[in-house]
Structure 1
Amino acid sequence: MKTRQIYHWNCRGRTIVLGERTLVMGILNVTPDSFSDGGDFADLGKAVEHALEMVEQGADLIDIGGESTRPGAAAVAEADEIRRTVPVIAKIREHSGIPISIDTMKAGVARRALEAGADIVNDVSAFEYDAGMAGVVAETGAGAVLMHKQGMPQTMQDDPTYGNVVEEVRDYLRSRLDFAEQSGIARSHLVIDPGIGFGKTCAHNLDLLRGLPQLAACGCPVLVGASRKRFIGQITGREAPAERRAGSLGVAAWSVRQGAHILRVHDVIETCDVCRITDTLCNGEL
C-alpha cells in the first residue's frame, strides 16, 4: 500500500491540500485544433457551460488552454491566445470560485489570465520557453506546474530518445525546481508533471508511469496528464481519442496507486469515481 506525502500548494493566497485524496483537474481547450476536443469549446458560452458542468461533476480544478500542444500543432500568437482564454476565465470566475489554471508557455498570456482570475500557471516548458514566465509567477504568487517535454510540439514525436527516461525526466524536473526557487518562487507553489506524450514513445510513457514513485522523490506534488493520449490507443487499438476513455481510466487508477496527487483529464465524472475507489482502497478505510 502506497501513501502520499501531504503538501499545501500555495496559489495566489489560496491553499490547496494535495495528498489527502487525488484531485481531478478538468481540461478545457478553447482551441480549434486540440487532439481530442479541438473546436468543441471555442465559443465563449459553450466553454463556460462546459467548465461549470465539470465543476458540478466533481472537478477540483479547471485547466484552460488556448494553444494546442498536440504533436505537430502550429504555434499561436500571444494575442490570439489571450483572446481565446481571458474572457472564458473572467466569465467562469463570475460563477465559480474553483481554482483555475492557465495552460500556457507565454508570460504575457499568464499575466492576463491571472489578472482575469486564474490561480495557477501550467507551463509545459517548465519556464524555459519564455524568460519572463518565472518572474510573473514569483510576482503574483501564483501556483505553477512545471512539465518535462523533449522538443517542441511541431517535432517532439519525430524520434524521441532517452538513455533512462525516468532518471532523465526526474533530473530535469529537479533542475527546473531549483531554477524556480532561484527565481524567487517557493517550493510550496510548485507541482511537477512528467509530460506523458510530450516527446515520448509508448514505451517511454509506460516507464514513466511505472516510475512515478521515483519522480515523487523530488519532494514535490506530481500531476499526471495521460487522458485519451495516443499511447493508450496504441495499447488498446482505439484510434479515436474519444474511444480511449476506458483506457484513460485504467491509467488514472494506476497513477493514483503510484502516488500521483493530481490527474488532468477530459472525463471528469468517471475519473472522480475511479479516484474515490482507488483512494479508498489505498487508504485502507472507507
Structure 2
Amino acid sequence: MPPIHKSASTGYQKSADKYQSGRPGYASASLDWVRDKLAIGKQSMVLDLGAGTGKFTERICAICDHVIAVEPVTAMRHTLQQTLPQVEALDGDATHIPLPDESVDAVICAQAFHWFASDEAVNEMARVLRPGGKLGLIWNVRDERTDWVAAITRLITPYEGDAPRYYKGDWKKPFPSPHFTPLELQRFDQTHDGLADDVIINRFMSASFIAAQSEAVQADIERQLRELVASHKALKGKEHISFPYVTEAYSATRL
C-alpha cells in the first residue's frame, strides 16, 4: 500500500473528533443526486472510498442497505464504525481496494478524491465496478462570495504546503478516462448551521494541513480564527452561524 500523504495520515489521525463535529453534512439535493445520477437504490452495492468518519456514508445508508466503507486512517475509520456499525468498514486505499472485480454498483468519493487522484486509482475503481456502474465524486466547497469566508481562506492558505486541494484542479488529470463516460457536474447550495466553535473553529482546525502543524502553530491559527469571529461585523456576537457552501458533484458511468 503506498504511503498516505503526511497531511492526511498525521492531520486526520489527530483530528478525527474535530472533523466529525466541524465538517458540514451534505445538501438534501445530494440524496437526489445519489438516486438519480448514481442510480443507487435499496439493493445496490455501494463503495464509499476514502470514507473518513462517515459524513457521506450516512447519506448513502439512508437509501441503500449494502454499503462498504474503505478508509486508510485508523482514527477516522474507528469513528465511522462507532457511528455507523451497520457499515462494513475496511482498511485500504484507492490503489488497493480490498474488493473483488466487478463487485459493486457504485463507487463514491466524498471530499476525498483529490488525495489520491491518479490513473492507477481510476483504474482500480473501474476494476471493482460492474459494467454500467456509476462513479460519484462530491465535494463541499466554501462559498467565497461571502467576504468573511474569503477572509478565512486567506488566513489558512499559507499553511497548505503541498497538500492536495480540490480547488487547484489537479484531481482532474486522470480524466477523460478510457474506463468512464465524461464527468457530469451538478451544483447545490447549502449552509452549515451551528455554533462558531463547530462550523468555524473545529471545521478549520480539523483541516489536515492544519492538524498536522505543531501545537504552537495550531494555537496561533486558532487565535486568528477566534479574532475573526469576534471582530467581523457579520459574526461577532452571533450565537449561531450559517456557513455557506456550494456542493459540487460529478458523476460518470463505467464503460
**TM-score, scaled relative to structure 1:** 0.29
**Structure of greater Rg:** 2
Q: Which has the higher relative contact order, 1 or 2, with Cα contacts under 8 A spaced 6 or more apart?
A: 2
Scaled by the length of structure 2, the TM-score of the pair is 0.32
